[in-house]
Structure 1
Amino acid sequence: MNQFSDFSTQATFRRLLPYIAPHKKGLIAASLALIVSAATDAGLLSLLKPLMNGIGFGSVTPESLRWLPLAVIALVALRGVTGYVSDYCMAWVSGRVVMSMRRQIFSHLMGMPVSYHNRHSSGSLLTKITYDSERVASASSDTLVSLVRNSASIIALMVLMVWNSWQLSIVLLVAAPVIALSVRAVSGRFRRISQDLQKTMGRVAVSAEQMLRNHREVRMFGGQITEQTRFADVSNSMRKHGLRMVSVAALSDPFIQMIASMALAAVLFAASFPSVLETLSAGSVTVVFSAMFMIMRPLKSLTGLNAGFQQGMTACHSLFSLLDTAQERDEGTLSAEGVRGELEFRNVSFRYENSEDYALRNVSFRVPAGKTVALVGRSGSGKTTLVSLLPRFYDDYEGEILLDGHEIRSYQLKSLRDKISLVSQHVHLFDASLADNIAYASPENISRADISTAASKAYADIFINKLPEGLDTMAGENGVQLSGGQRQRIAIARALLKKTPLLILDEATSALDNESEHAIKMSLGNFRHECTVLIIAHRLSTIEACDEIIVMDDGQISERGSHASLLQQSGLYCKLHDMQFTAEQ
């Protein structure tokens, strides 16, 4: 469903209020300061009356006007203080609101199922955390500041006008409903353009992220022109939507200004009647007409405010749509504490979302605790899909997956994953030291010696000891400072440090050289009886000593047995072995 469907500005703003409510003291302080600041404008303008009446007509002596300089200084000083208080308080409130919402979005994204991240690019999700949340700041602070300040200014100036001449001021009240209806009419247009602008911003982020993430491929295959063209297209689209927003705002402003000017013209016409002029002094006329001209500025600000407010509400709706998306299901009640690692798949079938073909079909096998089982087969045969079900990255499978005799969906999600270590083919490291990467999210009681031991078991110490800073060497973004084989050994060390009863190695030795591969095979021999190990491998030389080898083909188990027995069957495993052996000659 489109994330912007059923978009109600009023409903969205009501959902934003709970984020603002805890900081209402700051809002109240800012609002009071804004009202006082607006009142000072009317106060400064009201000083014109005694000045005009006193000097222009001689009814007041110059000595009696000597308090005016002090009044001007006091009002300007008060305006400066209240301006600072309002700006600081609103920045404090908006900062708190954005921080709270960003934290909630970040936490919610971490709890989203893998299928959600498969459907959405990281660039579009980053846009929600950064750009969308900043637009919320516009809705919760800038908009409110302008609304309170300009509304207070208009009210203060209107009161000043009515106080000096209610006959002239009443004409302006007729224009108020017309202006309100005009603002409402353009709100829908602003909202629709904001939605388009929001989507385009996401595409800009995605395009930039793809270029930055795949910069080597871009250079290698000469894709600079392709990426520049793609980014130019989305940037131009964003420019057009932004221009449409400015165009609507630019057209609405003079339209509303024209309505206000017609009201002003009516006041001027009414003032031309002698019966009206007789009731006014020179000072009253000056104050009334000066206030009328001053009202134009806050009125223009209020009409221009609608564009920013609609952008903020669109961003809010985008974030709330994400927060309304269901997270991973965690209905399990059992603790996985003390599990031994006995696995059993019973008639497990699975297909990915929006796919008609099954990735797994009636898969059944059992792995006793402490045994090592290898999964082999052609690419796309379902091996990675099968092991992805164990940590419940996907929950909507058919059949049963048992861990120590209990369906894995009956375990608490965090408790289950605490007992599983995974080393995938695509290793992800953090921009931190090697020690921090190995000990990522480990308990605080993990010592430096434990980290060194894990690195040694993974044979990562072979290259770590040669680095000037050893374990304190920075890995760089996603381990860019390391080779592919070095990254994999760091990932293996991280998995070994976790010391779980179930270890999954998904092509964990694919990027290793022959020497490192041999070292890892020796390491597997050292710890494989300490836990249950599932190994996915294309390099069959790494799995010859496994307790059992399961051969998968088209989502099903086609063969199973030891290395020697499978070679004797002359089936798919034998063909894969012969092809690999021939290729290595």
Structure 2
Amino acid sequence: MHGLKLYTRLLDYLKPYKWESLGTVLSMILLAITEPAIPALMQPMLDGSFVDKDPTLIRMIPIVLVLLALIRGLAMFGSDFGLQWLASHVVLDLRDKMFRRLLVLPTNFYDANSSGHLISKLIYDVNNVSTASTQGALVLVRDSLAIIGLLALMVYLNWTLSLISLFIIPSVGLMIHYMSAKLRRLSQAQQVAMGDMTHILEEAIKGHKIVKIFAGADYETQRHYQAANTVRRYIIKFAFTGNLNSVGIHLISSLALAAIVYYASLMSVAGTLTAGEFVAFFGAMALLINPIKRLTKINEQLQMGLAAAQSVFELIDQPTEVVTGTKTLKRVRGEIEIHAVTLCYQEAKSYSLQDINLHIHPTETIALVGASGSGKSSLANLLTRLYQPSSGQILIDGIDIQELDLTALRQQIAIVSQDVILFNDTVAANIAYGGLANATQTSIIQAAQAAHAIEFISQWPQEFATEIGENGVRLSGGQRQRLAIARAILKDAPILIFDEATSALDNESERFVQDAIQRLHGNRTMILIAHRLSTVRHADRIVVLEQGRIMEMGTHKTLLAQNGIYSKLYRQSQLNDSIAE
């Protein structure tokens, strides 16, 4: 995206704060207008007060200087504080919009992007946008107007000397244009490197137990050092290029200043330039150099900010989940029909599901079994529309799920997976999460009882008000799983999916979970996805998947009698369970 378009888009975020923006801009204009007043006072002060001994000027100039200082102080406060206030609100709005977009992006976006890079966008990139927008606006508006005012004063004082000073502007412009593209590229590379470092840091923190147990500290330290060193190199390259630019500008300014001093001295000797005019002109010239330097310096921040803004808007512009339907449902009966469904994940070379046809009756319990990679979890992902099928159709109560509103569809389904996600909050908040936040304490307790979570919750001093830590770090695997089941029970969805819910549990925890599942049997449609086949024996039907295809279907007893794939899987499962014991 072009730099001007990026800035125009950023300015759109100021529209809700138009009056605050107007006040800030007026403060910057006032500050810029009063900049030339300082050297302008030098001429009457020297020529009138010191040379002509004018008593009126002797009395007035100190008063004017005090008033000028007061006006500039107020204008400086209004511009600096106003910009910080506006920037903080723009950053808040950007982060809010980015976070909202993250929550509605399709699952395959998360498959393709690491969480570290996404976190870096929300924190590091947005901060760079803030810095560029505040400092950039301050310098561009205030210093540009100050330069115009100072140049006008210089032309008024002596147009011949002003022509020499104008030599600076095109030279500086050419240098800025040359350096801008390079600075932008370096900033973009630095942001990518920062995302890599954030990703490595996040992995090391989350996996700290594995790092310790498998002696991975040296390896992780090396990874982090390499990533951090890459960031450092880009920072140094960026600083070198920016400072090289500043040195060039300083050299050009110094040459122009030397030429002006030389010609001014000649004019003073010839009697065509008074001491007051010379001091005023030289003062204006001196004041002109700093705004020009700031304008060249701000180019570095602007390019960094533009690169960050491009990264931010790339996330905001990401397409959301495919929304094809608008139909809503109160509560479905739980009938599921799957017709000729095929699924191939993005960039995958083979199909995860091929020509799946399955009819699940209301309140029926269906088990999906098979080896790893056979497509069991893929089917659950399609039911919730976390992924879209490559072909085929899925109906719930006779309605194509593509015609249903996404929120309405997902209200009908609850999932308990192997990878339980808990939040750094209380037990009650984790059970009554999201749309369940208004649940009564009684219903939360009942859900915990049904999931056999009340047994360990009641042993804690604060019971349901107990903080469980990040992702339930203070809980055992079985306790975390039972909290997840309690959450699903509280949702009271007519379709309930257990995706490998007992695969990592000990025997005692598995018995608790199995009992909770049995209590739900017959009053809602349940889909059990499992490796441990001892957990699916009581299912109404068992569906055997292999390489994305349905190979066998029937009850536990009939499938064992067939002595086919399920029979082999079951014997292997029993052997694994006996070894584990």
**TM interval, short-chain normalised:** over 0.9
Alpha-carbon offset, residue 443 of structure 1: 4.4
State whether residues 6 and 306 of structure 2, in contact with CA within 8 Å, keep that contact through their aligned partners in structure 1.
yes
2:517 is aligned with 1:533: no
Query: 1:390 — aligned with what?
Result: 383
Alpha-carbon offset, residue 533 of structure 1: 0.1
Q: State the AA in 2 paired with 1:512.
A: L
Structure 1's 464 and 71: CA in aligned 2 closer, same or farther, altered over 3 A? same
State whether residues 49 and 57 of structure 2, in contact with CA within 8 Å, keep that contact through their aligned partners in structure 1.
no
Query: 2:328 — aligned with what?
Result: 335
Distance in 2 separating the partners of 1:254 and 1:513: 68
Deviation per residue, 1:485-521 (Å, 9 max, x gap): 1000000000010011100000112343323322333
- Which residues of structure 2 form unaligned runs of 5+? none
Deviation per residue, 1:163-212 (Å, 9 max, x gap): 32223223222432222222111111111111111211111111111111
Deviation per residue, 1:236-268 (Å, 9 max, x gap): 111111111111111111212222223223323
Distance in 2 separating the partners of 1:155 and 1:479: 61
Query: 2:26 — aligned with what?
Result: 32
Distance in 1 separating the partners of 2:40 and 2:521: 88
Structure 1's 41 and 327: CA in aligned 2 closer, same or farther, altered over 3 A? same
Query: 1:306 — aligned with what?
Result: 299
Deviation per residue, 1:330-380 (Å, 9 max, x gap): 111322323111012222111110011011111212110001011111111
Distance in 1 separating the partners of 2:205 and 2:144: 46
Q: Greater CA deviation, 60-69 or 145-154? A: 60-69
State whether residues 26 and 90 of structure 1, in contact with CA within 8 Å, keep that contact through their aligned partners in structure 2.
no
Deviation per residue, 1:536-577 (Å, 9 max, x gap): 112222221111111111111121111111111112222222
Query: 1:411 — aligned with what?
Result: 404
Query: 1:156 — aligned with what?
Result: 149
Spell out the pairing of 1:49-448 with structure 2 (5 A cutoff): 49-54=43-48, 56-57=50-51, 59-61=52-54, 64-274=57-267, 277-443=270-436, 445-448=438-441
Spell out the pairing of 1:493-532 with structure 2 (5 A cutoff): 493-532=486-525
Distance in 1 separating the partners of 2:261 and 2:510: 92
Give TM-score scaled by structure 1 length: 0.95
Q: State the AA in 2 paired with 1:441.
A: G
State whether residues 431 and 474 of structure 1, in contact with CA within 8 Å, keep that contact through their aligned partners in structure 2.
yes
Query: 2:472 — aligned with what?
Result: 479
Q: State the AA in 2 paired with 1:95.
A: S
- Which residues of structure 1 form unaligned runs of 5+? 1-6
Q: State the AA in 2 paired with 1:342.
A: E
Distance in 1 separating the partners of 2:259 and 2:21: 38
Alpha-carbon offset, residue 55 of structure 1: 5.2
Distance in 1 separating the partners of 2:246 and 2:461: 65
Instruction: Specify the SS of the correspondent of 2:233.
Output: helix
CA RMSD of aligned residues (A): 1.8
Query: 2:574 — aligned with what?
Result: 581
Alpha-carbon offset, residue 50 of structure 1: 2.8
Structure 1's 279 and 32: CA in aligned 2 closer, same or farther, altered over 3 A? farther
Distance in 2 separating the partners of 1:561 and 1:161: 95
Instruction: Specify the SS of the correspondent of 2:166.
Output: helix
Query: 2:36 — aligned with what?
Result: 42
Distance in 1 separating the partners of 2:576 and 2:349: 36
Distance in 1 separating the partners of 2:119 and 2:437: 30
Distance in 2 separating the partners of 1:133 and 1:369: 49
2:19 is aligned with 1:17: no
Distance in 1 separating the partners of 2:436 and 2:111: 30
Distance in 1 separating the partners of 2:122 and 2:267: 63
Task: State the identity %.
Answer: 38
Q: State the AA in 1 paired with 2:39.
A: L
Alpha-carbon offset, residue 32 of structure 1: 1.9
Q: State the AA in 2 paired with 1:267.
A: I
Distance in 2 separating the partners of 1:257 and 1:31: 29
State whether residues 342 and 389 of structure 2, in contact with CA within 8 Å, keep that contact through their aligned partners in structure 1.
no
Q: State the AA in 2 paired with 1:41.
A: E
Q: Greater CA deviation, 29-38 or 460-469? A: 29-38
Distance in 2 separating the partners of 1:517 and 1:502: 21
Distance in 2 separating the partners of 1:554 and 1:173: 75
Structure 1's 291 and 445: CA in aligned 2 closer, same or farther, altered over 3 A? closer
Structure 1's 374 and 75: CA in aligned 2 closer, same or farther, altered over 3 A? same
Alpha-carbon offset, residue 451 of structure 1: 0.3
Q: State the AA in 1 paired with 2:195.
A: G
Alpha-carbon offset, residue 276 of structure 1: 8.3
Distance in 1 separating the partners of 2:78 and 2:180: 31
Structure 1's 337 and 285: CA in aligned 2 closer, same or farther, altered over 3 A? same
Distance in 2 separating the partners of 1:200 and 1:493: 42
Q: State the AA in 1 paired with 2:10.
A: L
State whether residues 90 and 141 of structure 1, in contact with CA within 8 Å, keep that contact through their aligned partners in structure 2.
yes
Deviation per residue, 1:195-230 (Å, 9 max, x gap): 111211111111111111111111111111111111
Query: 1:456 — aligned with what?
Result: 449
Distance in 2 separating the partners of 1:33 and 1:525: 71
Distance in 2 separating the partners of 1:402 and 1:411: 10
Q: State the AA in 1 paired with 2:324.
A: E
Distance in 2 separating the partners of 1:207 and 1:517: 34
State whether residues 365 and 526 of structure 2, in contact with CA within 8 Å, keep that contact through their aligned partners in structure 1.
yes
State whether residues 330 and 413 of structure 1, in contact with CA within 8 Å, keep that contact through their aligned partners in structure 2.
yes
Structure 1's 444 and 517: CA in aligned 2 closer, same or farther, altered over 3 A? closer
Where does structure 1 differ by over 6 angstroms across 4 or more consecutive aligned residues?
none
Distance in 1 separating the partners of 2:273 and 2:503: 93
Structure 1's 379 and 461: CA in aligned 2 closer, same or farther, altered over 3 A? same
Instruction: Specify the SS of the correspondent of 2:415.
Output: strand
Query: 1:4 — aligned with what?
Result: none
Q: How many residues align?
A: 578
Q: Greater CA deviation, 494-503 or 15-24? A: 15-24
Distance in 2 separating the partners of 1:139 and 1:26: 19
Distance in 1 separating the partners of 2:259 and 2:57: 36
Distance in 2 separating the partners of 1:581 and 1:152: 82
